[in-house]
A and B are shown apart, each in its own frame.
Chain A
Amino acid sequence: MSEPGRTTPAGTAPPTRPGPGPYRGPNGTEFILRAHDVYKTYRMGRVDVPVLKGASIEVKAGEWIAVLGASGCGKSTLLHLMGDLDQPDPGKGEIYFEEKPVNQQSRSERNFYRNRTVGFVFQFYHLLPELNVMENTFIPALVGLTRFSYYARRSEIHRRAQELLTSFGLGDRLKHRPQELSGGERQRVAIARALMNQPRVLLADEPTGNLDENTGGEILELLAEQHRAGLTIVMVTHDRSIADRADRVVELHHGRVVDPA
């Protein structure tokens, strides 16, 4: 079962985290990921509903940025575009990762982008109900592996998943099914899954939206820890107090991003 068209051999080492000091990507940019003037329109029956109307956002490497906006203003949409789960309206805007336009890559490059470059965390956790905690965590590492390459790297993959889960306090839950976990625990598994392939950017869509304040705080603390270790995080939320945990807060208003600073 090999993933067709994979250009980078599976298991190449992830790029090293930038050390202290300003990040300088290719072309001397300081932005690792940015959306430039993107439009997104949904069709509801016969009417076009414009959601994003020229939104631009620049994410610096190593920063934790929060996108604040009212419910239904298009935060998730923006995040999906940045993670290449969805595309902007044709010809209207572009997503750049290290100044490479994401949408103009080949299919397999884009699958690779979703698999290795970014990691998603959703409000509703979105774990696979039939898989246990371990399997849910390492499933992104299996993508692109053949049966043989899997067996060659099996112990490495299992060790990584186990380390992640243990450091998230789930060491004794490895064989449990998602249904047997609390909301906070599920979200930790989801974060572990997002981090499994050591992504460059973590995209978090209201990661605490479904959790009570205490549990939500724990999750945010966990994200903060990862951030301190050098992870770039883009988080969207409608809650200012949560947004304030980030380095920088931008607001999404009427389909455009405004930087209040």
Chain B
Amino acid sequence: MYHVVLTNRYLTSRVIPLIAVGAVALCAALVMIVVSVMSGFLDMVRDSGRTLMGDVVIELPTRGIPYYEDLIERIEALDEARAASPMVDSFGLLRMPYPPGDSKQSEFVQFWAVEPESFARVTGFAETVHWRELDDRERRTVPEWDIRRQLTPRVLRDGLALHDSRTDRPGIVLGMHVAETNQRMPEGGYHPMGDGYWWMPGFDVTLVTIPLRDVGGQIEPESFIFPVVNEFVSGVFQIDDVRVKIPLEIGQRMLHMDEAELVDPDDPFRVIGVDPARVTKILIRAEDGISPDELRDRVTVLYDAWVEEYAARDDLLVLPSARGFGLNIRTWEQVQARFIGPVEKERDLMRILFSIVYVVCAALVLTIFWAIVHEKTRDIGILRSVGCSRIGISLIFLRYGLVIGVLGSVVGLILAFLIVRNVNTIHDAIGRDAPVWSWVTAFGFAAVSLLMTILAVKRERMLPIVLWSLGTIGMLGLGLILVLHRGTLVWDPTVYYFDAIPNTLDVPNAIVTMIGAIVFSVLGAFIPAAKAADTDPVEALRYE
């Protein structure tokens, strides 16, 4: 029982254990934060894959897949598949409505021409469309300037249908970062420049592209004028920066992949057949509980059977098999592999690097406990003289280590949670110049410290002099840094793929980290505890 009394007293009446708790907390928080951000990052990559393209993708670039409606019908008949959607994709230039004047700017874009209804069933497109009416709850939290406060349901409806209902024309939905005029606000949300003037829905843009299939004739660029009907935010910067969505038929027409009559080369008036419309991709969504890999294997079998059937029916039609050249049937994870792979490796590397932090943690606890045991040598002698056993004595310190590990990891968890939660705010704050109050406060503290230093000099007390002058220098330095600080973006979205830093704590990892911190704290306490057990009571009690 005396262990409990002593551990409690030792913990509550000294500064050293506070330092130990702080050290453990910092170590634990560091690991939790780094791994949380990395894991969050990985999850975002994963999720975005699914949101963007569904579970499985059949691709045949340039040539395109003909009779895709029939293929899609068969795919959708599979138990494993919930929905499938055809699309064509290519690259183009988008002539933007800005700046004012005749010479307009063009942006390089990747366009996806989709069938809006089925596309929304396969992907998370509907959720990513940004301009929509706010509900009552959002209305209370969203800032006054937000354009969404003034919107009618039509904007979202048009965006989802890729159709401008006011002019009854096919519409285009842009990635949020395609137009340079959109600014991400620190409070969240987007506000177009010119205090909303350059709000893209309401302007026309011109898409120019080169057809992929040139069935006879010269290659001429194709262009089409679209009204912008909405914008989407997938959260993946590289996507939101270049991707635009247009209706499938327009895309097929621009790429010459629409249905066409085949004519006799010798007699242009003699129709000899029909070249069917084609798509470059078919996106497929799995039924709940079906893994993308399962679905891909099923689709592969189905596709091969389908190709054979068509080849038998029409000898003009040459389609590659599932493993054939140019054709790919892949899960979204495989498509994203070039993103996921490196991030996974990075995270594992971080894990290994930060395991060293545990060792540092144990070393810290060890040295601090060594100091504590050293300082408590006399107490140990006293306890031995009143009959405490060696094991009992070492238990005091192991217990002490356990309590410090538990407290430290809990504090670390809270710290990590707060930091991870607010990581984007913190990042934004770093990204801006320091507010005036921050450095005024720092200089204020510096002045107070200076005053205390002078007082300490008068009283000729060495430790206060040293501490207060250190405080003065530190606060002066901090103030100077704050004054001179110019906003720097650490998390540059063009480099880091996402436009926001992941801000959810990785709970399983946090638990592992906490257990690690506790185990290593106890391990660090083992050696000092053994030393305590070996303390010679007579030696410990000899002097005052």
A interface residues (Cβ-Cβ under 8 A, vs B): 1, 3-5, 76, 80, 83, 85-86, 107-108, 111-116, 120, 122, 124, 126-131, 135, 139-140, 142-147, 149-150, 193, 210
Contacts and interface: CB of A to CB of B under 8 A. Distances in A.
B7 to A, nearest CB: 10
Contacts of B399: 1
A142 B392 CA distance: 12
13 contacts: A1-B2, A1-B395, A76-B542, A112-B387, A129-B379, A130-B10, A131-B9, A139-B5, A143-B2, A143-B386, A143-B392, A144-B387, A147-B4
B537 A126 contact: no
Given A1-B2, A107-B389, A128-B379, 6 more contacts: A124-B544, A126-B541, A128-B6, A130-B10, A130-B13, A143-B388
From B1, B395, B537, residue with most partner A Cβ within 10 Å: B1
Interface string B378-415: 11011111111111100100010000000000000000
Interface in B522-544: 537-538, 541-544
A139 B388 CA distance: 10
A1 B3 contact: yes
A115 B391 contact: no
B389 A139 contact: no
> Shortest 8 CB-CB distances between A and B: which pairs?
A115-B387, A150-B1, A114-B387, A142-B2, A124-B544, A130-B9, A140-B386, A145-B1
A152 B1 CA distance: 12
Contacts of A116: 387
Given A111-B387, A130-B9, A139-B386, A1 B392 contact: yes
A107 B132 CA distance: 80
B53 to A, nearest CB: 60
A4 B391 contact: yes
A126 B381 contact: yes
A85 B537 contact: yes
Contacts of A113: 387
A143 B387 contact: yes
From A80, A86, A111, A120, residue with most partner B Cβ within 10 Å: A111
A139 B4 CA distance: 11
B525 to A, nearest CB: 16
Contacts of A150: 1
A6 B13 CA distance: 31
Contacts of A80: 538
B13 to A, nearest CB: 5
B396 to A, nearest CB: 9
A86 B538 contact: yes
Interface of B: 1-6, 9-10, 13-14, 378-379, 381-392, 395, 399, 537-538, 541-544
A74 B387 CA distance: 23
A142 B385 contact: no
A195 B178 CA distance: 86
Contacts of B2: 1, 139, 142-143, 145
B406 to A, nearest CB: 17
Given A147-B4, A150-B1, A111 B388 contact: yes
A5 to B, nearest CB: 8
Contacts of A126: 378, 381-382, 385, 541
B5 A135 contact: yes
Contacts of B379: 128-129
A207 B2 CA distance: 26
B385 A114 contact: yes
Contacts of A130: 6, 9-10, 13-14
Given A1-B395, A85-B538, A135-B5, A120 B385 contact: yes
Contacts of A131: 5-6, 9
A115 B385 CA distance: 8
Contact of A3 (B5, B382, B392): B392
Given A126-B382, A150-B1, A111 B389 contact: yes
Contacts of B4: 1, 147
A147 B1 contact: yes
A96 B5 CA distance: 34
A142 B544 contact: no
Contact of A114 (B10, B384, B544): B384
Nearest to A126: B382
B492 to A, nearest CB: 53
Contacts of B5: 131, 135, 139, 142
Contacts of B392: 1, 3, 143
Contacts of B6: 128, 130-131
B39 to A, nearest CB: 40
Nearest to A81: B538
Contact of A140 (B387, B391, B544): B387
A160 B541 CA distance: 26
Contacts of B538: 80, 85-86
A111 B383 CA distance: 10
Contacts of A146: 1
Nearest to B399: A1
A3 B392 CA distance: 6
Contacts of A139: 2, 5, 383, 386
A238 B10 CA distance: 36
Nearest to A136: B382
Contacts of B382: 126-128
Nearest to A5: B389
A113 B391 CA distance: 17
A50 B14 CA distance: 41
Contacts of B383: 128, 139
Contacts of A85: 384-385, 537-538, 541
Nearest to B385: A120
Nearest to B7: A1
A115 B386 contact: yes
A108 B386 contact: no
A144 B3 CA distance: 10
Given A1-B395, A85-B538, A142-B1, A135 B387 contact: no
Contacts of A107: 389-390
A93 B395 CA distance: 33
From B382, B387, B541, B543, residue with most partner A Cβ within 10 Å: B387
A111 B4 CA distance: 19
A48 to B, nearest CB: 17
Contact of B389 (A108, A122, A135, A147): A108
B347 to A, nearest CB: 42
A109 to B, nearest CB: 11
From A3, A85, A130, A144, residue with most partner B Cβ within 10 Å: A130
A107 B393 CA distance: 14
From A80, A107, A113, A128, residue with most partner B Cβ within 10 Å: A128
B54 to A, nearest CB: 60
A234 to B, nearest CB: 15
A3 B537 CA distance: 18
Nearest to B381: A126
Given A122-B541, A126-B378, A135-B9, A193 B386 contact: yes
A150 B542 CA distance: 32
Nearest to B14: A130
A112 B387 CA distance: 6
Contacts of A114: 384-387
Contacts of B390: 107
A237 B381 CA distance: 21
